[in-house]
Structure formats: C-alpha cells, structure tokens
Amino acid sequence: MKNLSEKEKSPLASLEEWEDDVLARYPEPEKGKAEFRSYDKETDNPIREFYRLNHTYQTYDNVLAKKARFLKFEQMEMPWWAAMEYLNTLVDDSDPDTSLDQLQHLLQTAEAIRADGHPDWFVLTGFIHDLGKVLCLFGEPQWNVVGDSFPVGCQFSDKIVFPEFFEANPDSTDPRFNTKLGVYSENCGLDQVHMSWGHDEYMYHLTKDYLPEEALYMIRYHSFYSQHREHAYDHLLNAHDHEMFKWVDKFNPYDLYSKSPKAPVLSELKPYYEDLIAKYLPETVKF
C-alpha cells in the first residue's frame, strides 16, 4: 500500500467520533428516531472521509496481511491491567466535555451489564471488548481499527453505511470476490468468513482460548451492524451463528447506550475487575 498521509491515517479527531455516529444511526429505542444526517453535502465531513478510506482499503488482501502481521502477537507483552491502562494512552483530541476516555467507556459498559445481574464473564466482556483498539498505538490507521465491520471476499452489502464508497474497493470489480457468496458457500458459518480488519477481530483472537463462546461472539461481531441490526448476511450464517447472535444483540445496547452521567470511579472498581481478569484470563496479554 502507498504511504498514507496523516489525514489518511486519522481522518477522525478521535475514535469516539465513529461510535457517536453509530449511536446517531441506531439511537436508543425510547430516545427517538435515527438521525439521518445529510452527509453528502458535507464533503469535508470526517465520518464520511473515514468511511471512504475504510471502504476503499478494507480488501480481502488487507485482511490477510493484517492477520499475518498481528496474529503472530509479536508487538509486546504486559499484564492485562497494564494493557487496559496502555489503551487509555490513546489520545483523544475531541471535545473534552463530551468525550470519555477509553477506560470510562469500558467501565460504564461493564457496570451496566453488572447492574443487570448478568454472569461475571459477561461483565468482563464488557470491560475488555474494545481493548483491540491498541492497534492504533501500533501505528494502524483508524479505518483498520474501528468502523462497522463486514465480510470481505464476497459482495459488499448495500446495508453497510456509505455503500457507494465500495466502488473504489478493488474487490468490487474482482470476479473472485464480487458475487453474493464470493469465496464462501451458502450458510458456511461465520467462522469460515474473513471479516474486515479491526479491533473486534483482533480482540477475538486475543481472548479465544479463555472466554465462553457467547462472550467471543459478542467481542468478534459487536461492530457487525449490517448483520446484527440489518440481517444483510443471513446467507453466510449457519444455525449456530444465529443462536449465538442472540448474545451479540444482548451486548449491543450496553455498548451503545450505557453512557452514564455519573462516571464510575476507576480506583474504587479496580479490585473487582482485577479479580475478574484473574479468574478468566492469563497473567499477561501478548499483543
């Protein structure tokens, strides 16, 4: 790939800008209608530019290349808690009044899950689900870390936000990849499917030996909005995926709607979360 400019690496002022946009698209049911923003007129809209880059560069080959690099886990190794603090060094340039740091989002998600009496592994899942965003700290451009995830290797669904930007993706004109099933077969199961690269897929690989399968589905597919909200890829899911996506659906409201006015205090909650980490995860995480 050509060398990317700073603007091409980081079209967003912060990763949160993507999440705010998802929230605008899928608002909390009681809280009114989706905000249909008229992006098209705003050529310098950072979200639009983010998706233009994401949809242009998330190719089948990009995914294989990122897997080859990051699934060797050769970046660094540290205790899990230190890793959570490391994630928090991701600098957020957006409005300090409205933005949360990474740990606050994770803590609020987890605390909302805990308050509803869910099992402890579900709480832990809420607490770590975005840790894969450390990819940004390893120099990855934002569009290789966040954004709605989707299958590569087959036709891009028009249910994905800004579908028109896929026209610039070389896979769209590649006969191996541009049919409905592409390199896959009908209902082959998502485990056979390569998803666009990002923090979800990376985090799945970091936790797959330690957490229950329900948790792994939540982690791996939490940004797969075109499926869990729009059901655009039913032809790739098998019966087991459908069963497991009930958990992805259960998780999503906590991810999107748990921003609480009163911020949980990290230092007070640290012992509880350290115990949870110790119960399920090894001493260290190898990125």
Task: Kindly tell me which of 203 and 237 has the beta carbon lying closer to Fe ion.
Answer: 203
**Least distance in Å: CB of 19 to Fe ion?**
6
Cβ count near 147 (within 10 Å): 29
Q: Which stretch binds Fe ion (CB under 5 A): 10-18, 28-36, 62-70, 248-256?
A: 248-256
The C-alpha atoms of residue 161 and residue 173 are separated, in whole angstroms, by 19
For 40-54, letters b (16+ CB in 10 Å) and e give: eeeeebbbbbbbbbb
**Least distance in Å: CB of 170 to Fe ion?**
27
Cα dihedral 145/223/221/280 (nearest 10):
70
Can you tell me which of 18, 255, 277, 287 binds Fe ion, judged by CB under 5 A? 255
Cβ count near 169 (within 10 Å): 21
120 Cβ contact list (under 8 Å, min separation 6): 276, 279
Task: Kindly tell me which of 49 and 130 has the beta carbon lying closer to Fe ion.
Answer: 130
Tell me, residue by residue from 107 to 136, as one string, x for binding to Fe ion by CB under 5 A and - for no binding: -----------------------x------
The token duo for 98 is 């409205």
Is position 101 an interface residue for Fe ion (rule: CB under 5 A)? no
Q: Which stretch binds Fe ion (CB under 5 A): 50-58, 66-74, 166-174, 251-259?
A: 251-259
CA 204 to chain centre: 10
Tell me, residue by residue from 176 to 215, as one string, x for binding to Fe ion by CB under 5 A and - for no binding: ----------------------------------------
Residues that bind Fe ion in the complex, under the rule CB under 5 A: 130, 255
